[in-house]
A and B are shown apart, each in its own frame.
Chain A
Amino acid sequence: MSYIEFKNVKKSFEDTEVLKGISLSIEKGEFISLLGPSGCGKSTLLRCLSGLEEVTEGSFILDGRDITKDAPQKRNIGMVFQQYSLFPNMNVEQNLAFGLEIKKVPKEQIKKEVQSALEMVGLLDKKKAYPANLSGGQQQRVALARAIVSKPKVLLLDEPLSAIDAKLRKNLQIEIRRIQKELNITTIFVTHDQDEAMLMSDRVCLLNEGKIEQVGSPVEIYTNPKTKFAAGFIGHYNVLDADEFYRAFRDEKTKKSAIAIRPETIQISLEKQNHENSYEVQGKIIESRSVGSVLRYHVDLNGINVRVDTLFRSFSLFENGQDVWVSLEKRNCLELI
């Protein structure tokens, strides 16, 4: 049996069904991300697991115990919210001690635990500071320390980095992962940022409209998306239905509903390459844009717009309106369900 199990979890708000039967198993010490667009139900799922929302149907098993009906206070879960939710009337030390005091931990031990948690997040010198006097990044680190100080069975992170600027966000992503590994704490991380999910997680659970689209390791999800949604959401795949694929690459009609092609697996050149097991078709550059170190071309293939990513190199620059040859290895065409 897995450490955490979601069994057919359903949640409705009045007439709207937000979670449509989620079943998922999470192992002890695993870092899993719930990834999906806004409104897909990822935060609701987290709130249901924490007990802040009641499920309409289904159950949660944590460490062999059914916690579905337990109050949030009884679940032994730590949670970090998007807006930090630090207690403004308490300083950092008091914020961290709050949960331990409720559990009636002896004062000396509280002091030790708080000290060690603050050391872990690198905020020992700020223990007397009030939340109002801390930066966003520091507040989020305090929130993280507060969540882990009482050694919960599972740590829930509800988009904890979304209110933080890009540079600090990168640092905190690394820091959260480091702390998670150090404590070997089972962690569920909610995000809508696929790069963040890919960077931090052992596994990614992709959600869409209240249902799980795909669960797998970041590499697995990136290289082998199973559905149209997964292909579109992860890695900016070109998703072509059978008809479009036939028109673009002049191939026999596939029986699958759609084909996904990663933009970086398509090559463009001025002359035909004659590669084996590849599609080689002519097209016209209709737009080019630089995205950091990547040049993103939009190529018209017989009326079908296909995205192609190449590294920004002087010998691979093409003009808008230029006729080019497009080469695609057949093994890079992923058939979707």
Chain B
Amino acid sequence: MKKKNLIGNVWEFIIALFLILPLVVTFIYSFAGRWISILPENLTFDFYKEKFSDGQFFAGILRGIFASAVPVILTNVFVLLALFAVIVYFPKVEKYMQLCCIIPTTINGIILATSILSTYAGSNTIFSNRIIMLICAYCIFCLPLTYQGIRNSLYAVNTKRLLEAASILGAGEFYGFVRIIVPAVLPGLVNTALTTFAGLFGDFAIIKIIAASQFETAQTYLYKNRNTDIQAFSAGVVILLVLTMVINLIVHKNAAKDSKRRKEENV
């Protein structure tokens, strides 16, 4: 048993090392000053200072936040409303909704982006606008996770029963939805939103295919300038990585709090 555990731990360590090593090297490289032998001669914040004073990089981050936040908000609002209606009024339709929402998991992001581009690029409709095209593509991309997260939250709080209790106390359905259901599912909703946001914010492939020429995010900006200064590029990558990590940490902390609350509820 102990031997099996040891082998397992060694494997875990090797895989972790394999995944973390590039990040560690990038991290060190972003701080390295002169580096001509095995180890850097000195460490410096110069590349970070350079990145923090780079207006284009920050504008790229803000664009990235915009391009990730808008689809997340749209998807959350529409899925929440649709799922609420399905669970409360049309439970029989749920299997079809689930099917529609899960389909995007079977499509590779690059294929999805290419298909959307070839379908709508020259259509002369509102969807031929690259930013709208990107937002719609992102909406499809984050649909499965959003659907699953919101569905779990709505079932966990027993939406139908809460709404019935509210209506017996005199609340209309919309009032019950706004005062009871939304606040009750909000922790789960925020977690799902942050997870999908982190996923979209870290995306490079879809945005490059659909809107790189017109809508430069931090990722596409870094990619474009990757050969001009590799260390500044590394600092940029670390900044983006830290941002994504902060979001994931918030999600993790919220999820842990939520799980503790549910355990207490069950006790």
Contact = CB atoms under 8 A, between A and B. Distances in A.
A102 B180 contact: no
Contacts of A102: 169-171, 175
Contact of B161 (A83, A89, A147, A150): A83
A130 to B, nearest CB: 9
Contact of B165 (A51, A79, A103, A133): A79
B209 to A, nearest CB: 42
B20 to A, nearest CB: 37
B264 A89 contact: no
B58 to A, nearest CB: 37
Chain A interface extent, by class: 20 to 34
Interface in B37-54: none
Contact of A132 (B168, B172, B180, B264): B264
B169 to A, nearest CB: 4
B180 A79 contact: no
A77 B168 CA distance: 7
Is the contact region of chain B dominated by helix, strand, or loop, or is it mixed?
helix
A73 B165 contact: no
A81 interface: yes
Chain B interface extent, by class: 20 to 34
Contacts of B161: 81, 83, 85
Nearest to B264: A132
A289 B184 CA distance: 50
A87 B157 CA distance: 9
Interface string B220-241: 0000000000000000000000
A87 B265 contact: no
A89 B180 contact: yes
Contacts of B264: 132-133
A72 interface: yes
B28 interface: no
Nearest to A102: B170
B172 A73 contact: yes
Contact of A52 (B162, B164, B169, B183): B164
Given A52-B164, A85-B162, A88-B184, A98 B265 contact: no
B183 A89 contact: yes
Interface string A74-86: 0001110101011
Given A52-B164, A85-B164, A99 B158 contact: no
A172 to B, nearest CB: 19
B170 A73 contact: yes
B167 interface: yes
Interface in A41-72: 50-52, 71-72
A131 interface: yes
Contacts of A81: 161, 164-165
Contact of A89 (B165, B168, B175, B184): B184
22 contacts: A52-B164, A52-B168, A72-B168, A73-B167, A73-B168, A73-B171, A77-B168, A79-B168, A81-B164, A83-B161, A87-B166, A88-B157, A88-B265, A89-B184, A98-B166, A98-B171, A102-B169, A102-B170, A102-B171, A132-B261, A132-B264, A150-B169
